[in-house]
């Protein structure tokens, strides 16, 4: 099922909230109005009954029939909404159980007898009663009165189907509210579309970026939340542009770096086929081919390793307890014979971290090979830790590094005069970044120092 647009959802949510409020208010109004109308009904009956009692004229024998007063009162307490279409009817119950009152009596004998029994058991002067008869409510008030020397009971009653009137009133209110809703639906629709318009524009921008058309910046006006979202999307676009530019630059660098050894190998092989040896004889010519092949192999392996690091940076890597000083010592023992003229000085603390042994082996191999390549005759290696950071420091007394070059040194295919693939230090930086560390280089008065800093707790 296709999801509804945000403007439609806002529209429907608004309608749902209004309808829900109408239902809740209807229930509250029903209970409140029912109590209010009942109170008004009883007040109306009691006032009519009081006026009726005051108008009764009883003869000394008390046998005169009551002639009801046909009055339609206009009381201030009667609500504006008519709760009844008739006036109360009044009757008197004598001690002889005879009933005098309205001639057109609509009460059944059974109900009359029940009222008589209630009057006899009533202890207070006035009491309200109600009774449901065939779906209609009978409201009546029994009043104990002293007329002459005789105690009589006057009961006044009125019929009213109150629920139907309340429901009718609420229905009219509900219809009125629905009418108002229908009137304001159009502006609500317009407002919802206006609120969602920036999101629709942003959606088109995202579709454009998904198709790699990301040169045009994202700039959307709207609420602060929309602007924040647009800024985040613009930041993502810029990162994609930078990443694409780096990829294009890397591909160009790879093609350039691989082209040279391949051309040398092919040209030397073709020369051998033609019976010509560029290096004087077959052995020295083959040595050049082997050297270029090794160089090509090194570049290919470094590129594969970088690709693996890209994958590992987004996936959980193997973590084990590794001793950094042990790895550095092993790398030193293997590399020290590449240049026997170098004087080494190692100051290593026993530091254990969680990590991947092979990755840190590559880090120290690449960075120490770089030191061997540029050092005159001295290398100092130190591994220390404080409460916050682990610091690896390696010094060589080689030539200074230009300030502009220091910032590019850890980029892919950036290499010095004695560099090989231009990927060694880039691999170092990628691995250190995976462990939330940083790597940098500084010039000293008599050499160069490389630093690796890593938090104690990764």
* 218-228 pLDDT tens trace: 777 766 777 77
Three-class secondary structure of residue 195 per DSSP = helix
Q: Does domain 320-455 have CATH number 3.30.428.10?
A: no
> Which band of pLDDT confidence, cut at 50, 70 and 90, is reported for residue 388?
confident
Inform me whether the pLDDT recorded for 71 exceeds 60.
no
Short-list 342, 404, 394, CA closest to 368 = 394
| Alpha carbons 299 and 313: distance in angstroms, whole number | 21
DSSP state at residue 336: G
**Residue 205: its H or E element:** helix 162-210
* Average of per-residue pLDDT across 402-424: 67
Q: What is the CA radius of gyration of the chain?
A: 50
Average pLDDT, the chain: 76
Q: How far is CA 414 from CA 21, 139, 289, 420, in A?
A: 68, 100, 24, 10
Inform me whether the pLDDT recorded for 123 exceeds 70.
yes
Residue 361 and residue 341 in contact, taking contact as beta carbons nearer than 8 Å: no
Residue 441 and residue 448 in contact, taking contact as beta carbons nearer than 8 Å: yes
Number of helical H runs and strand E runs in the chain? 9, 12
pLDDT at position 318: 61
Residue 230 and residue 218 in contact, taking contact as beta carbons nearer than 8 Å: yes
C-alpha angle 6/224/186, rounded to 5°?
Answer: 40
Inform me whether the pLDDT recorded for 427 exceeds 50.
yes
Bridge partners for 439 per DSSP: 452
Short-list 358, 290, 349, 294, CA closest to 320 = 358
Highest mean predicted confidence (pLDDT) among 70-84, 97-111, 314-328, 359-373: 359-373
> Which band of pLDDT confidence, cut at 50, 70 and 90, is reported for residue 101?
low
* Average of per-residue pLDDT across 375-387: 91
Inform me whether the pLDDT recorded for 330 exceeds 80.
yes
Inform me whether the pLDDT recorded for 102 exceeds 60.
no
* Average of per-residue pLDDT across 236-261: 74
Crossing angle for the helix pair 162-210 and 224-273, to the nearest 10 degrees: 30
* Average of per-residue pLDDT across 417-431: 70
Inform me whether the pLDDT recorded for 449 exceeds 90.
yes
Q: Does domain 224-313 have CATH number 1.20.120.340?
A: no
Collect contacts of 195-204 with beta carbons under 8 A, ≥24 apart. 195/7, 195/10, 195/223, 196/5, 196/6, 196/7, 196/10, 197/222, 198/222, 198/223, 198/226, 198/230, 199/6, 199/226, 202/226, 202/229, 202/230, 202/233
Residue count (the chain):
458
Q: What is the b/e burial string over 387-400, where b = at least 16 CB atoms within 10 angstroms of the residue's CB?
A: eeebbbbbbbbbee
Residue 175 and residue 188 in contact, taking contact as beta carbons nearer than 8 Å: no
Residue 288 CB-half CA count within 13 A: 20
DSSP state at residue 76: T
| Alpha carbons 312 and 222: distance in angstroms, whole number | 39
| Alpha carbons 163 and 37: distance in angstroms, whole number | 10
* Average of per-residue pLDDT across 331-357: 91
Q: How many CB atoms lie within 10 A of CB 416?
A: 17
Which structure tokens are listed for 359?
Answer: 């990755």
**Residue 321: its H or E element:** strand 320-323
Beta strand pairing status for 447-455 and 389-396?
antiparallel
Inform me whether the pLDDT recorded for 68 exceeds 50.
no
* Average of per-residue pLDDT across 182-186: 74
Short-list 435, 357, 429, CA closest to 389 = 435
Inform me whether the pLDDT recorded for 122 exceeds 80.
yes
Inform me whether the pLDDT recorded for 55 exceeds 50.
yes
| Alpha carbons 169 and 173: distance in angstroms, whole number | 6
Highest mean predicted confidence (pLDDT) among 51-55, 160-164, 184-188, 341-345: 341-345
Whole-number percent of the chain with pLDDT over 90: 14
> Which band of pLDDT confidence, cut at 50, 70 and 90, is reported for residue 72?
very low
Pick 357 or 61 by higher pLDDT: 357
Domain positions in the chain: 6-167, 224-313, 320-455
Which structure tokens are listed for 159?
Answer: 């019929």
pLDDT at position 136: 77
């Amino acid at each position: 099922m296709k999801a509804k647009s945000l403007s439609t959802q806002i529209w429907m949510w608004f309608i749902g909230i209004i309808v829900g409020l109408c239902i809740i208010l209807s229930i509250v109004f029903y209970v409140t109005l029912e109590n209010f109308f009942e109170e008004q009904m009883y007040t109306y009956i009691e006032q009519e009954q009081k006026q009726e009692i005051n108008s009764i004229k009883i003869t000394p024998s008390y046998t005169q029939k009551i002639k009801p007063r046909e009055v339609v009162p206009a009381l201030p307490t009667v609500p504006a909404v008519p709760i009844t279409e008739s006036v109360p009817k009044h009757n008197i119950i004598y001690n002889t159980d005879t009933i005098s009152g309205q001639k057109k009596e609509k009460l059944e004998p059974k109900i009359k007898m029940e009222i008589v029994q209630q009057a006899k058991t009533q202890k207070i002067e006035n009491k309200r009663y109600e009774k449901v008869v065939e779906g209609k409510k009978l409201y009546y008030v029994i009043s104990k009165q002293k007329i002459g020397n005789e105690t009589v009971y006057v009961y006044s009653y009125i019929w009213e189907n109150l629920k139907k009137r309340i429901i009718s009133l609420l229905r009219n209110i509900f219809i009125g509210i629905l009418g108002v809703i229908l009137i304001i639906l159009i502006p609500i629709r317009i407002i919802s579309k206006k609120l969602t318009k920036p999101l629709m524009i942003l959606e088109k921008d995202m579709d454009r970026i998904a198709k790699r058309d990301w040169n045009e910046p994202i700039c959307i006006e709207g609420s602060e939340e929309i602007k924040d979202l647009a800024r985040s999307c613009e930041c993502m676009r810029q990162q994609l542009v930078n990443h694409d530019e780096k990829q294009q630059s890397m591909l160009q660098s790879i093609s350039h770096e691989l082209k040279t050894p391949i051309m040398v190998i092919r040209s030397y092989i073709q020369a051998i086929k033609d019976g010509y040896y560029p290096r004087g004889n077959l052995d020295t010519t083959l040595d050049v081919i082997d050297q270029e092949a090794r160089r090509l192999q090194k570049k290919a392996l470094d590129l594969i390793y970088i690709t693996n690091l890209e994958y590992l940076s987004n996936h959980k890597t193997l973590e084990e307890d590794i001793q950094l000083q042990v790895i550095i010592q092993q790398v030193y023992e293997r590399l020290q014979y590449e240049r026997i003229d170098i004087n080494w000085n190692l100051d290593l603390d026993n530091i254990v971290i969680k990590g991947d042994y092979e990755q840190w082996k590559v880090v120290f191999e690449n960075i120490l090979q770089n030191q061997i390549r540029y050092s005159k005759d001295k290398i100092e290696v130190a591994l220390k830790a404080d409460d916050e950071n682990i610091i690896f420091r390696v010094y060589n007394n080689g030539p200074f590094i230009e300030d502009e070059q220091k910032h590019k040194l850890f980029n892919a295919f950036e290499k010095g005069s004695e560099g090989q693939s231009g990927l060694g230090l880039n691999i170092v930086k990628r691995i250190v970044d995976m462990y939330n560390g940083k790597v940098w280089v500084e010039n000293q008065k008599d050499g160069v120092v490389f630093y690796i800093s890593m938090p104690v707790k990764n």
